[in-house]
Structure 1
Amino acid sequence: MTDESKAGRPRPRSGRRTDDRNNTGASARAGWLVPAGLIALSAVPVVAGAARLTELAGGAEVTAENARFFAMPLPVVVHILSATLYSVLGAFQFASGLRRRRPGWHRAAGRILVPCGLAVALSGLWMTLFYPRPPGDGELVSGFRLVFGSAMVLSIVLGLAAIRRRDIARHGAWMTRGYAIGLGAGTQVFTHLPWILFLGKPEELTRALLMAAGWVINLAVAEWVIRKRPPRPRRASSGAALGSGVSS
């Protein structure tokens, strides 16, 4: 074989490897968009919660709006801390590449997220039932909080029951719904903001409907995500599910 023929022969393998690496890198970057978006969505509630904790720790002036928190701070402290961890750590459970590469991390994070999610929902239910109602909140707001808080507890419990049966598909669906409800406060920022900017402070009924809209939007997106996922076995094989415990 002459040098000329060698020089003229195409080399497809090198180019194919480069394309594969580029595609893998692009896919990995795209896989982090969802967690980043979820963390961004939770940013305002997380910052507001941190400000509330600073207020309680620093002995700020007691007003009609915050008097209930000073009178009994433990429920709101539990709610803020658990909600912060649940929303931020939970976002990484939606990084598909991380789940595939490190399934042990996914399971370990799930063991933290389940008690955190239950603490978020149960502390929220407690505050709704036993804290004095803040100005602007009426029966309808309280009713929505009780309904969606109870739905969050139910979703997490059903997700936990599913993984103990090694039913991966149902586990993922219920945990996604629970997380969507838990992230409702982030979406409520966007349902309230246009109304406040253009029409002023919402009245009691409007505020209740805007809050409900945040939860409903999140659940609608969650259902779309659940139905868009490719079909997967409902039950994992015994070897794959050993030690799975709690995950989300």
Structure 2
Amino acid sequence: MFRLFQRPIPLALLLAFLTAIPVLNSLFLVFQIPTGDYPKASAHLGAAPISWFVHVLAGFAFGITGPVQFVRALRHRFGRLHRVSGRIFVVSGVIIGLSGLSILAQVTPVRTIMVDIARGVFGVVLLIALAMAMMAVRKRDFVRHRAWAIRAYAVGMGLGTVALVFIPLYIITGKPPFGLLSDILFVVTWVLTIVLGEVVARHVSRSRPQVLPVSA
């Protein structure tokens, strides 16, 4: 299984597949939020339009740059591009975490408190993971840096796997999953995504050190 994560193209394609739904949704919302023409299911988020818009814009950037960051050829052959993409990844991740917490503070919950608690905890964990990734790269500990970047991506894009679970349920039942059981499934799916990211990060941490080119 883990040999897949040592091959850059399959890994990037897998990550792109897992996060395609939230990335595309964010792209649509970037144009819908300013006009107010967003889905009724998201109408409650209109109470915090600026935080919501910034959140989805950063989510799009985070989702696009994430898979690219784990392509080995980009890191070794195009070090400068990797660093630029990495800065976008980190900045957008920080914005996701902060704007998500801002939305929680402004918007009246429509789900059980469990979901809001999970969102708040995951937002803080995302910020911590990004901070640890930056601390590692400043020490030129690139294996540890990559492991924390994987953790950050798993947390930040956990909604991708949630969507992969909820969309089939929507197709089967004909209506969006809602209620206590769906909220439990929502949180459990996100947690499992984070657990998978942790397993991969630990595997990466046991690999041999990687040396990246020094900035010019």
1:31 Cα offset (Å): 3.0
Partner Cα separation in structure 2 for residue 100 and residue 87 of structure 1: 21
Q: 1:35–1:64: structure 2 CA closer, same or farther, 3 Å change rule?
A: closer
CA contact (8 A) 2:44 2:108 kept: no
Q: Which residue of 2 aligns with 1:108?
A: 84
Partner Cα separation in structure 2 for residue 104 and residue 184 of structure 1: 28
Segment drifting more, 111-120 vs 200-209? 200-209
CA contact (8 A) 2:126 2:155 kept: yes
Q: Deviations over 1:38-74 (max 9, x none)?
A: 22222211222233333323343895841541x4311
Q: Which residue of 2 aligns with 1:164?
A: 138
Partner Cα separation in structure 2 for residue 231 and residue 138 of structure 1: 41
Q: Which residue of 1 aligns with 2:196?
A: 221
Q: Which residue of 1 aligns with 2:30?
A: 53
Corresponding position: 1:205 with 2:177: no
Q: Deviations over 1:4-37 (max 9, x none)?
A: xxxxxxxxxxxxxxxxxxxxxxx9xx63222122
Q: Which residue of 2 aligns with 1:123?
A: 99
Look up the equivalent residue of 2:55 and give its one-letter code: H
1:88 Cα offset (Å): 0.9
Partner Cα separation in structure 2 for residue 85 and residue 219 of structure 1: 20
1:98 Cα offset (Å): 2.1
Partner Cα separation in structure 2 for residue 201 and residue 109 of structure 1: 35
Q: 1:36–1:131: structure 2 CA closer, same or farther, 3 Å change rule?
A: same
1:81 Cα offset (Å): 0.8
Q: Deviations over 1:112-138 (max 9, x none)?
A: 21111100111111111221223xx11
User: Identity over the aligned pairs, expressed in percent?
Assistant: 29
- Consecutive unaligned residues of structure 1, counting only runs of 5 or more, are 1-26
Q: Which residue of 1 aligns with 2:71?
A: 95
Look up the equivalent residue of 2:195 and give its one-letter code: A
1:92 Cα offset (Å): 0.6
Partner Cα separation in structure 2 for residue 154 and residue 81 of structure 1: 21
Partner Cα separation in structure 2 for residue 228 and residue 64 of structure 1: 39
Q: What is the count of residue pairs matched by the alignment?
A: 209
Q: 1:226–1:61: structure 2 CA closer, same or farther, 3 Å change rule?
A: closer
What TM-score, normalized to structure 2?
0.84
Give the SS at the match of 2:209.
coil
Give the SS at the match of 1:66.
helix
CA contact (8 A) 2:76 2:213 kept: no
Partner Cα separation in structure 2 for residue 150 and residue 113 of structure 1: 16
Q: Which residue of 1 aligns with 2:215?
A: 243
Partner Cα separation in structure 2 for residue 64 and residue 192 of structure 1: 14
Give the SS at the match of 1:42.
helix
For the pair shown, the structure with the greater C-alpha radius of gyration is 1
CA contact (8 A) 1:53 1:77 kept: yes
Partner Cα separation in structure 2 for residue 100 and residue 61 of structure 1: 41
Look up the equivalent residue of 2:10 and give its one-letter code: L
The partner residue of 1:150 within 124, 140, 146 is 124
Look up the equivalent residue of 2:8 and give its one-letter code: G
Partner Cα separation in structure 2 for residue 64 and residue 82 of structure 1: 21
Q: Deviations over 1:83-128 (max 9, x none)?
A: 1011111111111222222222212211221111100111111111
Partner Cα separation in structure 2 for residue 86 and residue 61 of structure 1: 21
- Consecutive unaligned residues of structure 2, counting only runs of 5 or more, are none
RMSD: 2.7
